[in-house]
Structure 1
Amino acid sequence: MGKKRLEQNGSKTLETNMEIDEKDDYILKSSNEEPKTHSEDWPLLLKNFDKLNIRTSHYTPLVEGCSPLKRDIRNYVSAGYFNLDKPCNPSSHEVVAWVKRILRVQKTGHSGTLDPKVSGVLVVCIDRTTRLAKSQQNAGKEYVAIFKLHNSVESEKQIRQALDNLTGALFQRPPLISAVKRQLRIRTIYECKLIEYNPSQQMGIYWMSCEAGTYVRTHIVHLGLMLGVGAQMQELRRVRSGVTSENDHIITLHDILDAQYMYDNQKDEKYLRRIIRPLEALLVQHKRIVVKDSSVNAICYGAKILLPGILRFENGIELNEEIVIVSTKGEAVCIAIALMTTSTISVTDHGIVAKIKRVIMERDTYARKWGLGPVASKKKMGLVQKAVEGGGGESSSNAKAIPQLEVKEEVQSPKKKIVEVEVEKNAKKEELGKKRKMEESSTSSEEEEDEDEDDED
């Protein structure tokens, strides 16, 4: 019985295998089509990587660097930020100081001051991310405000019309209670929407999108003047700061305390990784240029972003637009100002693509790869030969005739080259030796003259 069952099962498996073989031919077929990569789900700055324009695909990958989400916990914290839900009453500076004390980090910053009575989104930057704080402070903001009218109005439509009139470029003077000088300034209101109005309480809620530095309290005072009844702000909450909104991983101060406690006592870092976001998440709206691994460290030292070092670039890059330079692993290298458009990059084969505005990555994260090309190698060989010839006992005229070394900006390293230092040291030693010989010869001649005079006496 058992043998029959085994034979039956074996025949069934053979039949199914035959059916599969008939349906599919498991053969690698040659084709001219490129393999499709689906990068819609790739994280942060690598999203839609396959849709970027390709300038070249040839480069040497380096072992240094890693994906922003896979950094070790120390680097992950120092290159991260919080989307903090600031509570009412403490000031922004107090909250940032508390975060610095809890995490025991060197530096903290924020994306724009909130008044003590205002709650909402406060982007708290840690250590290396503070380099992006200035750009986040200048980004647009969104608020939800509660206002109270001093008298009733005819209809809700009148309030909507007044809010529509209070959009665009407006003159504003800071409120009486403010930390800045009360000078007249121009601020742009992009959009205003009335969410709700209660005629019995003469109170309403509205949403506004505005430029950084706008005073919502002053805007509500102007709304009361437009309506002719007067108005006053009751409550304010910031719902968006730059690319970060209150729906994007917002946390509280208690979450930070709990995560740090778990890491200190149980060495569990998953809670810190859950509340901290990599700095690259702040740059997802910027246009991208992907550079080779060999040029990353040179950019960190301030080198120009040249066309031969570019692998991929995004559509729609305009002149003087702020862009982000990205490594092949998705790390933000620096923020730069574009000096070429997308069409120019695709046509030309040399030139400066962008100038650096702010370097984000630490120096020497990647290996130094400049000064290893054919031109630099020839210059180094020439320097070594001159150093050898200079040490072989040349005459003073030949020693002085060694020309100063001129190195092009593209090849010049940030520190003085070792060979140049050796050449200078050898020249100085020769000059000192010759001076000593001259002094010794002069002293010996004087002694001989003195001895001759003594003999004559």
Structure 2
Amino acid sequence: MQKQNWIAKKEKDETNWKYGCLPHKRKIKDLLENGIVVVNKHNGPTSHDIVEMVKKILNLKKTGHSGTLDPIVCGVLPLTLNNATKMASLISKQGKEYVCIMHLHKDMNERDVKTALMNFVGTVRQMPPVKSAVKRQWRDRKVYNIKIIEIKGKNVLFKASVEAGFYMRKLCSDAGEKLRCGANMAKLIRIRAGPFSLEESFSVEEINKAYQEYIKTKDEIYLRKIIRPMEDGLKNTPKIIVGDKAIYSLCNGVPLYPPAIVKYTDDIRTGDYIAILSLKGEFVAIAEAEMSSDDIKKVKNKKVASIMRVLMDVDTYKGISHKHQQNPTSV
């Protein structure tokens, strides 16, 4: 995935520390409202089962997951908590990485197996499996990389980095067809979902233990390692940072115009869903880009983005709202 670079719109802008808060400095109650838990899903339960388990453990009203894992699949399952469920789709659209065991139905030459798998790197047309959560129609998805780790008998162990919505089970069966021997997915572990890795994930039991410890002792140390600010899920999302004075208007649905922008990433495309952030890094809102990063450089008065969903409490920056907030063109 291409690295994001920041482009400055204003040379200097300062934040008022009387308003808002650095995401990692939030109180536990605020993290439970605006947080993410990265679960290491175990074999057996569905993604929905895991959602319900964590929701009950943390005593939450709402919990959402960012990319379904089948019951037999293990690994990284990011969960969004309460208000943060509004951003679940931003995480689910990010790339995934898997370790997979493909079982061949016949003994095959190793060179042929490697060639067959490597031919899938690039854009692949897939028909979702019969048992899937989406409509069965042909879709193009990208395979960024495949690395074969070991071939032992009929079992092929490999790592794959893919676009969101790519079906690893289908990759195995399609590879079997190319080899004319048949193949199936024997085991699958998701080792990365968007910015979250397996090393950063926690089991349901660990989450329960940390929360119970917090309830009994009010010791936050372990629970803070598990509940992360929702902003951690935005690493790969196109972003725009705005000044303090614009935030109240944006939280009330006023579109984003150039004077409010401090800096932005270079990967914004027209029609993209992007994240609007404060100077402190707080997630203000999800917006739909009306222009690309290249166009933002050139404009002064045109609408840059339309607000789609507000995540920040509307009154967080009310005390320093822009004096021209009623006029959209001056936001």
The CA distance in 2 between the partners of 1:328 and 1:168, in whole Å, is: 37
Distance, in Å, in 2 between the alignment partners of 1:174 and 1:57 is 49
| Correspondence 1:100 to 2:55 | yes
User: How far 1:193 sits from its partner (Å)?
Assistant: 2.4
The aligned length equals 327
1:85-132, Cα deviation, whole Å (9 max, x unpaired)? 000001110111010000001100001111111101100110121111
Amino acid at match of 1:109: G
Quick one: structure 1 residues 72 and 234, their matched pair in 2 at CA, closer, same or farther if it must change by over 3 Å? same
Quote how far apart the aligned CAs of 1:219 are: 1.8
> What is the identity, as a one-letter code, of the residue corresponding to 1:250?
S
Distance (Å, rounded) in 2 between the aligned partners of 1:215 and 1:332: 31
Residue 117 (str. 1) matches residue 78 (str. 2): no
3-state SS of 1:98 partner: helix
2:181 counterpart residue number? 229
The separation in 2 between residues aligned to 1:110 and 1:60, in whole angstroms, is 33
Check if 1:188 corresponds to 2:135: no
Offset of 1:179 from its aligned partner? 4.7
Change (3 A) 1:344 1:152: closer
Asked if structure 2 preserves the Cα contact closer than 8 Å seen for 1:334 and 1:361, the reply is yes
Q: Does the CA contact (< 8 Å) of 1:68 and 1:330 recur in 2?
A: yes
Matched, 1:165 2:119: yes
1:337-376 aligned at under 5 Å gives the runs 337-342=288-293, 344-367=295-318, 369=320, 372-373=323-324
How high is the TM-score relative to the length of structure 2?
Answer: 0.88
Task: Say whether 1:71 aligns with 2:23.
Answer: no
User: In 2 relative to 1, CA 363–321 (structure 1 residues): closer, same or farther, beyond 3 Å?
Assistant: same
| Structure 2: stretches of 5+ with no match in the other structure | none
Alignment root-mean-square deviation, CA: 2.8
* Contact 1:55/1:346, CA 8 A, preserved across alignment: no
Higher strand share: 2
Higher helix content, 1 or 2: 1
Larger Cα-atom Rg: 1
Q: Give the Å deviation of 1:213.
A: 2.7
Q: How many angstroms apart in 2 are the aligned matches of 1:353 and 1:214?
A: 31
Does the 8 Å CA contact 1:298/1:368 hold for their aligned counterparts? Answer: no
CA distance in 2, matches of 1:54, 1:180: 42
Structure 1 residues 95 and 316, CA gap change in structure 2 (3 angstroms): closer
Report deviation, 1:170: 3.7
Of 141, 148, 151, the residue aligned with 1:197 is 151
CA apart distance, 1:372: 3.9
The one-letter amino acid of 1:207's match is K
Query: Aligned-pair distance for 1:133?
Result: 0.8
Distance 1:313 1:142, change over 3 A: closer
Question: Does residue 1:310 correspond to 2:261, yes or no?
Answer: yes
Which amino acid in structure 2 is aligned with residue 195 of structure 1?
Answer: I
1:84 equivalent in alignment to 2:39: yes
Higher relative contact order (CA 8 A, sep 6+): 2
CA shift, 1:362, in A, is 2.1
- Give the Cα separation in 2 of the matches to 1:371 and 1:309: 10
Paired AA for residue 254 in structure 1: E
Instruction: Quote the offset at 1:294 in angstroms.
Output: 1.7
